[in-house]
Each structure stands twice: as C-alpha cells, then as structure tokens.
Structure 1
C-alpha cells in the first residue's frame, strides 16, 4: 500500500508510560479540536478523527483521561508515537508488536522527539533515515545500528515514515503533515493560530550546542523585511545593505537564528507563498512566479518541484477546492 496516498483522517497518538506532555499536546492541537478561528475558513469541520491510545490501562493515573486501548491502532491511518521522559526504558512489548502490525497494514507512521525509539524497536526504521532529539541521537544509533540517524535535522521523511527532533520540531512536522494532507493554506491557518514562526523545512538544523539568542531583533527585522519583499529580486548583498550588516555577519547571525542560509530561507518562503497563491487564487503560473520573486515560471517550477516533489500545476489540481 502507498503510505503517501492512504486516507490519513483517523489519527492515533500513542501515550507511553512517562510520556512528555507537550509531545501529546502538539498533535492534539494540530489534528484534534480546532477553534472557530481555524474552522471558519474550513468547510466541513475538522478533517481528522483523533484518539489517544496506550498500552497502560485507562484508570492508570500516569496516562491522560479518555485514553483508549491499543486495539484502536487497528483502524488508524496515521500513528503518532509521542516521546517519553526517559527513552532508556524499553517500550512496552505489546506496543512494539502493535506498531509493527500497523506499519504492515500501511498506516503512516510518525514519531515526535524520542518516540523514534519505539518505531525503531518495532523494526520500522531499519535501513531508513530518521531523527530524534539530539541528546538521544547517540543512544538511538547505538541501540539500533541499522537506523540512519540524522540528528542535525528538524524532521525527516523516508518513504512515508516521519520522525521529528525535539518537541518544537514536532510542531514543524505536524504542520508539514497537515500541509501534505490539506495544502499550504490549511497549514498557514493553523500556524497563525499556534503563533508558530515561519515554516521551517525539515532539513534545517537542530540547534544542538549553540542556541540562537532570544529575541534577536536584528534578524527578526530582517525576516519581516524579506517577507514583505519576496516579489523583488533579492540577493544576499541587497538584504545585507538593508540590514546594515556585512554579508559575513548576516550569514552568521541568520544561520544561528534559523539554522539555514539566508538565500535558502528565501527560496523556502517563496515556495510557501506560491503554494498559497496556487490554492487560493486563479492567477496563472507566470503571474505567481513574478509575485513570489522567482522571475520566471521555469525558475519557479525548478524550485517548487525540488521542494514539494510535484509540479505547480499538479499541486493546484490537488489542493484547489472543487466548485
């Protein structure tokens, strides 16, 4: 079964003993009950059916209320394994077996933070690229040497199996899944509700040792200015002049704050804007290309296809609502 095309509407979040509360709260917010602000522009209501499942009994004080038994995984189209406080403890044997069964049935498998240890224990990550929180990456590599651990990345997709780094990277991954399922506009609406920063691609680096300075106003101002001028022929030099920083200083500060280069970040934002215009307007490809600063339709197609693995025209057919 193609894991990228299976209906993802039924989602089960796996709650293990010693679970990390935010690892559960993030997917609950993205895929669970949506506030009116989000559903107002979404006909038909929330497109997901969400449940919490656990190998622990529902009356156990260590798990949230309304948790359901692992049998629920039998009908889940997407399985999200939340992280735990201490992944050195092996996952519950029944959970490992159930995860393997869900994978064999074709469910989309997802982990947040060190939830990757449970997927690895079930053999789902064997031979695959995967990530986890940088603090636990060495242990994941030692315990499961067949997993290709990429600890520097925010989230990784490998043939329909998705893994994320720390808790906030889990937000990036959940928004990415929402975008895959329902398009850029839906992801943008949810990101605005979450007051999430501009979309970060999975290949951007985790902040492993040198955390970015809190509230770096210089880079915040640069980012705001770029987003207001995406339709212009931006270069590193023009952005540097506006920021009143040398190109060397701009490169260094921008990478520290975002985990990527200036021009790569610009390209990602242009593709994100193109996605939204393709979904929400009847504009032609040439017009969208110029409004997003690509300069030509061909340049837009190259960048768009590289980042989305589909063409602008096919993307529009997929995510434009039917009349």
Structure 2
C-alpha cells in the first residue's frame, strides 16, 4: 500500500534575513515531492450533495485546455476517483454517480474529500467510519465540504478540533457533537490534516486554498479565472455579510483597489479614510460590513497574497519583496507571512517555484 510520506531536511537558508537553520516543511509525497500522482479520493455516499461533488471534480480533475494556454509550465499532479460503499449511490436530485470505486480505495488516497450528504442526521455506516479513521491514522489529508463536516464528526475526527459547516446547520453540529469547536463565522478552517468548509460555494474557496497550498497562488489563480471565481477569499471572512441597506452605492471597493495598487505605501486608517472621503469611524464600520474584516487585517492579507505571487514568479531577494509589498521590516514580513501561510517566505519559495516551472 502506498501511503503519504513525510520528508524532513535541515538546511541553511539564504533568504535575505540573517542566517539561521530551518527545517523543510512536511510534504505529502505526490504533490510537493513530485514522485507520483497525488491521489484524491472523493467519498460518495447516498444522498451526496451534487454541487459538493462537482466542485472537487472540477478543481482537481482533468484541467481544460485553457490552463495549458494560460500557464504553459503548469501541470496537474492529481488523479481523482469517486469512492464509496455503493457502486451506484443516488446523489443530488435523484442523480446516480457511476464508476464509484470500492471503499477500500481510500486506503491508497493521499487526500480524501468528503462532500455533504442529506440528511445530515443520517447514521454513518461502520465501514465508512473505520475507513476514515484509518486514513486519518496514516496521515492522509481529509477535507469536508459544507455539511460533510457531519460525516467527519460522526467518524470522531473533529473532536477537539476547530471546524466549520453551513451556517444554518452550525447549531445542530454543535448540539450533536459537543466536543467539536464549531466556528460558523469562517468560510473554511484549515487545521492542518483536517480541513472543513462552510456552506455550498465556500467549498470552492477551500479547494482553491488546497490548490494554493500544494502548487502556489499562480496555479490557484489560473483555475479561479477559469471558474470565474474570486481567486482568494480569506478563511476568516464570515459566511454571511449583513450589509446595511444603502451601502451599495457607497462601496469602498474603489479605495480597496487603490490600496492594492499601492501596497508599498505606509497605509494607516487615517490615510485610507482620507482616500475614501470618510471618517476613520465610518471607514471601520463600513469596511467591516462590506468585507467582514478589519481594515488592517484585510491589508495584511493583501500584502501576503502579493508576496506569495512575487516569491513564485520572480527571483527578487526575499527581504526586497517584503519591503515592496509594504512590510516595514524583514521581521515584520516574516512574522505576518508565517502567520498567514504556516511557513516562512524561504520555505514557500522553495516549495512552489519549481512546480510552476515544470514542463507540461
């Protein structure tokens, strides 16, 4: 049985910061290692939600010709199968999934994606529970979409972990599984090995986040453009934005675009409010209503996103990139980048630059 492997190396990093020793990030073989196709198994149960099944098939399945034309150096490292306890389970509105592989196929998967199913209160077959727990024990990455979190919770994989699901079902998840740290205010939660997404189309955000983690932002942005989807929405963005009536004609989007185009500037609440022509108090209130985020939290996210792009696509020194996107010091850049991505700028460059340069 081929299982995900963990590789660790110690190296001295030349990244524009003072010299120090670092460990390479742990990588699942088949994506970051480039040794074999990364096997993605989508769990198909009776009552599987159709859109939850379509999203990972579109993002991880065969890519359209557009991708090769847009990014000639990018290749798809994933192989995708449908896996489940039934050969032809009903899904969606009475549709039937065909070519479903036996449940034992989960034993070979590097990543397992669990779509939502109806009803959420349905019992979980013992063999499915055992297969998911075995996969978790051997280190497979497990991803749930929308109400698929109920499947993971029933398998005992979310106990003691933060997780999200569709906001309408969050209280039911909390009631049925009190040991789960339910966070219905998130679009998705990445807790390392276990990842969960919020309602319906937030599954796109999570799958693009997985793609970005594996292959970098250039790959995720290319697929997002094909899907006509936002290339990146922050995981901390609320599922539902209760935007006050009357804000539609006074959007701060023009100001946000100005900030994106001038990330090097030392922006403050005062300078951003001045550009928008409002008070700082009005800026913070309206910004929160429109994005679900604080002004400075959003700004940091934009700076990190641009830094990721530059690390992947240029040979500029890392310290220079930090200053170019507006971080005031090398230490500030390293701290914010690591907090947002879980890895340092140097590690990120080593992990993602080669993959975007591999011939198709």
- TM-score using structure 1 length: 0.90
Q: Any gaps of 5 or more consecutive residues in structure 1?
A: none
Question: Which of residues 62, 75, 79 in structure 2 aligns to 1:49?
Answer: 79
Matched, 1:184 2:217: yes
Cα shift at 1:213: 7.1
- Equivalent pair of 1:285/1:312 in contact (CA under 8 Å): yes
Cα shift at 1:269: 1.0
Structure 1 residues 219 and 55 mapped into 2: Cα distance closer, same or farther (>3 Å)? Answer: farther
Cα shift at 1:192: 2.4
Aligned equivalents of 1:214 and 1:146: distance in 2? 41
Residue 17 of structure 1 is matched in structure 2 by: 46
Structure 1 residues 171 and 242 mapped into 2: Cα distance closer, same or farther (>3 Å)? Answer: same
| Structure 1 stretch displaced more, 177-186 or 65-74 | 65-74
Residue 61 of structure 2 is matched in structure 1 by: 32
Structure 1 residues 216 and 95 mapped into 2: Cα distance closer, same or farther (>3 Å)? Answer: farther
Cα shift at 1:59: 7.0
Structure 1 residues 214 and 190 mapped into 2: Cα distance closer, same or farther (>3 Å)? Answer: farther
Aligned equivalents of 2:318 and 2:140: distance in 1? 35
Aligned equivalents of 2:138 and 2:99: distance in 1? 25
Cα shift at 1:287: 2.3
Q: How does 1:225-244 map to 2 (within 5 A)?
A: 225-244=258-277
- Name the SS of the counterpart of 1:320 in structure 2: helix
Aligned equivalents of 1:105 and 1:313: distance in 2? 28
Residue 254 of structure 2 is matched in structure 1 by: 221
Aligned equivalents of 1:134 and 1:123: distance in 2? 21
Aligned equivalents of 2:133 and 2:332: distance in 1? 42
Q: Please, what is the CA RMSD of the aligned residues?
A: 2.4
| Structure 1 stretch displaced more, 313-322 or 175-184 | 313-322
Structure 1 residues 215 and 39 mapped into 2: Cα distance closer, same or farther (>3 Å)? Answer: farther
Q: How does 1:130-141 map to 2 (within 5 A)?
A: 130-141=163-174
Structure 1 residues 78 and 212 mapped into 2: Cα distance closer, same or farther (>3 Å)? Answer: farther
Aligned equivalents of 1:93 and 1:214: distance in 2? 52
Cα shift at 1:11: 0.4
- Equivalent pair of 1:20/1:83 in contact (CA under 8 Å): yes
CA displacement, residues 143-189 of structure 1 (integer Å, 9 cap, x when unaligned) = 11221212221211224111111122211111111111111221222
Residue 297 of structure 2 is matched in structure 1 by: 264
